[in-house]
Structure 1
Amino acid sequence: MVELADGIHSGPGPFHSNSKGRRLDPSAILSANAKRIDFDRLEMLNGQSVVHAGQFDRETIVELARFAALLELSEVASHHPLDGKLVITAFFEASTRTRLSFESAVLRLDGKVLSVPDGRTTGAAKGESLEDIGEMMNTYGDLVIMRHTETDAVRRIRTNLQLPLINAGNGSGEHPTQALVDWYSLLKWRPALAAPEVPEAQRIHLGIVGTPGNMRAVKSFMRMALTFSAGISKITVVSEMADPLGVELAAWVAESDLKVDLTNDIEEVIGSLDVIYMNSIALLGDSYKTLDSRYRLHAESNLKPDAIILHPMARRSELDTSLDGTPHNLYFAQAAGAVFIRQAILICLLGRVAAIPGGIRLLTQ
């Protein structure tokens, strides 16, 4: 049983859940760890930037997920935690889910948004440097969320930017808040993964379909997976490429104690995978490459009966719509949780954790 203190009422939040596929209960991650949310840890994020998935330790990710669950379950938004804050969303590369979920997160917490939905409408189209754009943004808002086609864009804008920055995707670099969305979904699905030690029976065989070295969302997801290695028996990367990890990700894997296998045959492993994470689009230089048609999943695929599928979207033919109405579909619930985990990180970075009234009490029966 979860009891929320000081006028915060447990029950459905003001948002709708996914209409198809498996639904997730946010209270599961709260009930599995019967203690107060560590707001002191979350307050330490005040003023920080979110640049890569490796900057978070396991405890911080878990507390962010538990905070997101509180936001999903309650009417915390009615206390206007971002009132008076202005967030700049600067998207120099196309986006639907990331930009809209961030803007929804801000507006539903009574913050304000200053949006650049298309880089072609900015001074960058006339040759203005990211360094100068960062300098100008210092006087316009309180936090910047940026997506850019260039991997080096985060470093360049931070040269002069003094505001907290959230990297919403930098070329083939990283997409750290998508990884938070993904792991928020997994922790709701199997709360035992949050523990520092996970019984062998609760550990997962994680399959990653694609080329993590060139797919920023997959790279960040896998980098964060290394943080949760206690709950993962093995990772199997399924890719047509001989070196799907790339130098950077391969180095992170080498530093961990997690077993990572590579294969180009999805049929070889699909029947043993508990979780399948896939993406369709890799950024190679200045162009996009889509996933090979051999790796398509559909309702007739030889999946484990209780296997789940994650996908950051947008999808193409690699993830057939015949899976949408099945329990394998966790990707719609994954998308549905994005607003809440992004609300959690925004409240923390903008120093508004103290605006959450009374904290939270957890009682178990």
Structure 2
Amino acid sequence: MFKNKRNRYLLIFIVAIIVIILMIFSLIPTSIVNKGSSPISFIVRPIENLINTISVNSKNYFSAIELNKQLTEENKNLTEQNVDLRLQVKENEAAAIEYEKLKNVYNISNKYDYLNFIGARILQKPLGKDLNLYRIDRGLDAGINLSEKSGFPVIDADANVFGRIYNSDALTAKVLPVTSEGFSVSCFISENRGQAFIFKGDVELKQQGLCKIEDVPAESIVNIGDEIYTSGLGGVFPYGLLLGEVVEISPLNSQGTQTILVEPAIDFKTIENVFVLTNDLLPDNLEDPDDESRFREDSSAANENEKIDETVQETATEILSEESEEKEQDVDTDTDASEVNESYGN
């Protein structure tokens, strides 16, 4: 048995040697192996084709593996680039939103050029249904001093009324929102600009995020969807700030009046930044590097300063024009002009 096994191995070896020799001869174009009529070619050609097929398939297999690695790496790079591009798109969208907000604030500041806009961030929202105050990061240091004024309006970047300042300390202030039962302001309805009403919060309606206007006469034109604006009466809120939109009109009561329910224009869930309105000069001790972009100087005060400077210059010019040819009178006249300048400067 062992001998037969050895003979089989020997036979396989001899056949392999013969095949190799024939394949070598097949490389020679003029050899007998390459002649189509040669009987040897009928034996060698299938073997050669098989080997070529195996060789080609092997090359294709390893090429496919290498190509798969390259494609995997490229896919990984493209995925990372896609993530980066998506992040850039999100950043650009956020920047566009901020730009629109700043543009709105700029337009509002031009409309109410007699006011200062104190930018603030909301630090804390109400923790419970009964605690209805918001805390912002601006206080006495930014000029929000309730001891000198009954209240400061608080709005968002779209000039929607958020509320008013409730109290303030050195670095922060609390804001009473429009939905609070302690909030009220004079207003008008878009279809009744000649009539003033009282827009106010309500202890029950604030759970629904609504406000109300009471005692609206039956002859007043009011429709669902009408907008409510501040009337400017009372001296705290300027004219034309948006308060909200009419969402419900109650039937007439026994006195012949009706109550209007209003949904505030402000979005309390998403709001993060607000603006406090004041017509007082901002304090000089604002050292926050963002103050230059977040606050603007009172243009009316600047105009007054320019008028005073022009008056001083005109007065000094008139005095100097009356000086005489004598040297002593020239000196006296110059002294008078300097005294006038000092008096106006003081």
TM-score class normalised by the smaller sequence: under 0.3
TM-score (norm 1): 0.21
Structure (1/2) with the larger strand percentage: 2
Higher helix share: 2
Q: Which has the larger radius of gyration?
A: 2
The TM-score normalised by the length of structure 2 is 0.22
| Structure having greater relative contact order (Cα 8 Å, sep ≥ 6) | 1
